Amino acid sequence: MGNPAEETFCHPDAQLDAKRRAAVKPWLFVNLRTGHPSREGDSGFTPVRRSALFERDWNPKLPFPRMPDGDVYAPQAGFSGGFPVARDPKTGKAWLIHAYGMVGSGRDDAPNTGGGTELFVVIGQAPRDLDRNDTLLGRVVQGMDLLSTLTRGPAPMGFYEDPALRTPILRVRVAADVPLAERTQLEVLGTDTPLFGKLIESRRNRREPWFHRPAGRIDVCNIPIPVRKITAASNS
């Protein structure tokens, strides 16, 4: 989802450290050739290798509302264009963050070994040690409740030994190729708006009746980006 723009953090080439994913399992892996969770290389074809994009040059024209409480993994963290982003002013580099719902694809040990045919979605606690170790290409804006409740596989790295447990993807379409009348119409709260700034502050200091001691700080991965379906009422 989202409008194509000259500046974007999305990238079609995605990578994932194979050794790390054996130790950390907040992932859903899907092989796009078979529609099933799958190990890279077991699908009977030779994947096309793509160049890695772990970070990029920062464009100062891009909006970047910074988190007020700092970040453990990066000199600065915040949001840009609806994505959680980290950056280093000294090097002039920026990169996407492995927050809940972020999407990337698998690779082998070498950086440029990802074919973009094995996607993953972060469905657990954010594994920030993977930042700048693979190429993230987007995030899920609808349906995380369905992905996060899929049965975890008991085999090594969380794959399924029993084919009956698999939930195949029957069809994948690019939104721009879908007729306008068939598209899911969604609105995403702009991360460079005053309202989003108020959301961050409300999450830093929770005032609901259950909370008796507001934290007074928050991590970038604990900020949900609100999404809603467009209805006649929302357009009025």
95 closest CA partner among 105, 103, 84, 106: 84
Instruction: Please state, in angstroms and rounded to a whole number, the distance separating the CA atoms of residues 96 and 63.
Output: 14
Q: What band does 153 get if pLDDT is binned at 50, 70 and 90?
A: confident
The reported pLDDT for the residue numbered 235 is 60
Q: Does residue 108 register a pLDDT over 90? A: no
Q: Please check whether residue 205 lies inside any domain of the structure.
A: no
The reported pLDDT for the residue numbered 49 is 58
Q: Please check whether residue 202 lies inside any domain of the structure.
A: no
**Averaged pLDDT for residues 115-130:** 85
Q: Please check whether residue 67 lies inside any domain of the structure.
A: yes
**Averaged pLDDT for residues 153-181:** 82
Q: Please check whether residue 187 lies inside any domain of the structure.
A: no
The residue with greater pLDDT, 174 or 16, is 174
Q: What band does 201 get if pLDDT is binned at 50, 70 and 90?
A: very high
Q: Does residue 111 register a pLDDT over 90? A: no
The residue with greater pLDDT, 77 or 47, is 77
The reported pLDDT for the residue numbered 39 is 40
Q: What band does 105 get if pLDDT is binned at 50, 70 and 90?
A: confident
Instruction: Please state, in angstroms and rounded to a whole number, the distance separating the CA atoms of residues 163 and 96.
Output: 34
Per the structure, the count of domains in the chain is: 1
Q: Please check whether residue 178 lies inside any domain of the structure.
A: no
Please give the mean pLDDT across all residues of the chain.
78
CA 202 vs CA 15, 118, 194, 223: distances in Å: 34, 37, 12, 10
The reported pLDDT for the residue numbered 29 is 47
Lowest mean pLDDT among 24-38, 184-198, 202-216, 222-236: 24-38
Lowest mean pLDDT among 20-24, 90-94, 111-115, 184-188: 20-24
Angle among Cα 110, 76, 106 to the nearest 5 degrees reads 25
Q: How many residues does the chain have?
A: 236
Q: Please check whether residue 179 lies inside any domain of the structure.
A: no
The reported pLDDT for the residue numbered 48 is 55
Q: Please check whether residue 204 lies inside any domain of the structure.
A: no
What is the share, in percent, of the chain residues with pLDDT greater than 70?
76
Q: Does residue 147 register a pLDDT over 90? A: no
The residue with greater pLDDT, 148 or 91, is 91
**Averaged pLDDT for residues 148-176:** 81
Amino acid at 45: F
- Segments forming the whole domain that contains residue 22: 18-168
Contact 25, 158 (CB under 8 A): yes
CA-CA-CA-CA dihedral for 110, 112, 116, 118, to nearest 10: 0
The reported pLDDT for the residue numbered 95 is 96
